[in-house]
Amino acid sequence: RKPRVAVVFGGRSSEHAVSCVTAGSVLSAIDRSKYEVIPIGITQDGRWVLEEDRPERLAITDGRLPSVEPSNQLVALSNDPTVRELIVQEPGAVPKTLGEVDVVFPLLHGPYGEDGTIQGLLELAGVPYVGSGVLASALCMDKEYMKRVFASHGLPVVPWVAVRPREWERDADAVLRRVQEELEPPVFVKPSRLGSSIGISKVSSWEELRAAIEAAREHDPKVLVEQGITPVREIECGVLEAEDGTPEASVPAEIRVRGDHQFYDFQAKYLDDSTDLDVPADLDEATTREVRRLAVAAFEAMSCEGLARVDFFLAPDGTLLVNEINTMPGFTPYSMYPLMWQASGVDYPTLVDRLIQAALRRRNSLL
Ligand code: ADP
Ligand code: MG
Ligand code: MG
Ligand code: K
């Protein structure tokens, strides 16, 4: 029989709608002569439901964002790793099986999706899945540990200070003094484990520091304060596993934010059209080569698998710094990651197919 692919989308993070739109694109692009597809939505409160296979439902229509709605058809993964089955449960009815799943495509962004938690669930159930495993997913979701691992591999990162919850609660003034000794304004203050620029502020004078840390703490008890680079050029590079498992880099691209945005914030990312994407980026040959080399090195340093988007800062003096890795980057046909691969000769349906094939080859990463 054809391999059965469960496409999982929606989820509990603030990127629920983005994930649904992505799923619409992926469901349309999967080759049905080659794979059988089971769409599974996760509601905003975390329930797994069996979705209809109607990708057009997941598009943005009349400015309305799609979402996963609660239904009676709840889905669970069998906890018997020897069967790897998906089971549908309706109230009052005998549970029925959807049969064995060969691979899961978790199209989820942010906490409970990109952070190793669903990957752990899938490891327990013995089901292969697209993308990075538990450790790489968790590391790339935590900006502090991500930087520590980059630095220990000799990859260039901006200077930073981590503000841990116990330190802040014990003596916030001491933390503020330490930040001011080690960094200079402007600095960026961020929740350590989030994405989409949520909770991030740029601090241009030290009087704003305390409030910025408190604001970031609303999202995550651990906060990162980073040396700001100004003016900064933001360069991204896609990494994808080749058939033999070797990670390969795409052409780099650049994001240019126009207008009165202080940085590439949530509004600029999703809500207005104030950003220009240059694919490929306008860089000299040596810098292009260095971005691609560092992208693969960063992917290897974190033991990523399948795919990742590596994001860089290019400082005015020409220094390249690795900012972060996103292990499940935006994935609509208009998102940066697929656009960079398109420009590198891998079109969207081929990209989807290569990711599924890589997951099928890998099987369970612990075995
Ligand atoms: P997220 O995971 O939410 O995307 P990032 O660390 O990538 O978080 O920060 C979001 C944006 O904030 C970046 O794309 C950039 O525009 C700006 N930014 C973050 N850190 C810095 C920095 N150290 N120097 C300059 N700009 C920064
Ligand atoms: Mg991120
Ligand atoms: Mg980012
Ligand atoms: K990340």
Q: Using an 8 Å Cβ cutoff, are 337 and 348 in contact?
A: no
Q: Is 200 in the pocket of ligand 1 (CB under 6 A)?
A: yes
Neighbouring CB atoms inside 10 A of 224's CB total 24
Q: How far apart are CA 237 and CA 228, in angstroms?
A: 21
Please give the pLDDT value at position 348: 97
Quick: pLDDT tens for 42-90.
999 999 999 999 999 998 888 788 999 999 889 888 877 788 888 888 8
Q: How far apart are CA 358 and CA 129, in angstroms?
A: 9
Atom of ligand 1 nearest to the CA of 311: 7
Asked whether residue 230 carries a pLDDT value surpassing 80, the answer given is: yes
By residue count, the chain amounts to 367
Asked whether residue 181 carries a pLDDT value surpassing 80, the answer given is: yes
For residue 273, give every residue at least 6 positions away whose Cβ sits within 8 Å of its Cβ, in sequence order, or none.
none
Out of 89-103, 178-192, 212-226, least confident range: 89-103
Nearest-5° Cα angle at 303, 362 to 364: 25
Please give the pLDDT value at position 363: 60
Alpha helices in the chain (DSSP H): 16-29, 117-125, 134-141, 143-152, 165-170, 172-182, 209-217, 266, 285-301, 336-342, 348-362
ipTM: 0.99
What interhelical angle do 134-141 and 143-152 show, nearest 10? 110
Please give the pLDDT value at position 197: 86
Out of 152-166, 284-298, 353-367, least confident range: 353-367
Q: How far is ligand 2, taken at its centre, from the CA of residue 325, in Å?
A: 7
Q: Is 102 in the pocket of ligand 1 (CB under 6 A)?
A: no
Q: How far is ligand 1, taken at its centre, from the CA of residue 311, in Å?
A: 9
Average pLDDT over residues 177-202: 95
Please give the pLDDT value at position 95: 84
Q: Using an 8 Å Cβ cutoff, are 26 and 105 in contact?
A: yes
Among all ligands shown, which has an atom nearest to the Cα of 196?
Answer: 1
Q: How far apart are CA 169 and CA 201, in angstroms?
A: 21
Neighbouring CB atoms inside 10 A of 342's CB total 18
Map out the domains of the chain as residue ranges. Answer: 4-129, 139-157+230-345+356-362, 160-227
- The residue ranking higher by pLDDT, 93 or 156, is 156
Q: How far is ligand 2, taken at its centre, from the CA of residue 292, in Å?
A: 19
- The b-or-e profile of 128-142 (16+ CB within 10 A means b, else e) is bbbbbbbebbbbbbb
Choose which residue among 264, 317, 337 to substitute to test ligand 1 binding: the one with the highest number of ligand atoms within 8 A of its C-beta: 264
Q: Using an 8 Å Cβ cutoff, are 347 and 257 in contact?
A: no
What DSSP letter does each residue of 260-320 carry, written as one string?
T-SSS-HIIIIISS-EEEESS----HHHHHHHHHHHHHHHHHTT--SEEEEEEEE-TTS-E
| Mean pLDDT score of the chain | 93
With CA atoms as reference, report the closest residue to 234 among 107, 345, 320. 320
Q: Ion ligand 2 — residues with CB under 5 Å? A: 195, 324, 326
Q: How confident is the model at residue 367 (pLDDT cuts 50, 70, 90)?
A: very low
Please give the pLDDT value at position 32: 96
- The residue ranking higher by pLDDT, 64 or 39, is 39
- The residue ranking higher by pLDDT, 193 or 99, is 193
Domain 4-129 has CATH 3.40.50.20: yes
Out of 98-102, 128-132, 191-195, least confident range: 98-102
Q: How far is ligand 3, taken at its centre, from the CA of residue 269, in Å?
A: 10
Q: Using an 8 Å Cβ cutoff, are 257 and 264 in contact?
A: yes
Q: Which is it for strands 275-278 and 48-50: parallel, antiparallel or unpaired?
A: unpaired
Q: How far is ligand 3, taken at its centre, from the CA of residue 195, in Å?
A: 6
Asked whether residue 366 carries a pLDDT value surpassing 50, the answer given is: no
Average pLDDT over residues 346-358: 96
Domain 160-227 has CATH 3.30.1490.20: yes
The CATH number assigned to the domain with range 139-157+230-345+356-362 reads 3.30.470.20
Q: Using an 8 Å Cβ cutoff, are 306 and 331 in contact?
A: no
Out of 120-124, 183-187, 299-303, least confident range: 120-124
Backbone phi, then psi, for 342, in 5-degree steps? -55, -45
Atom of ligand 1 nearest to the CA of 257: 16
Residue in this structure with the two tokens 């018997």, named with its chain if needed: 80
Quick: pLDDT tens for 9-35.
999 988 899 899 999 999 999 999 999
Q: How far apart are CA 149 and CA 302, in angstroms?
A: 7
Q: Is 234 in the pocket of ligand 1 (CB under 6 A)?
A: yes
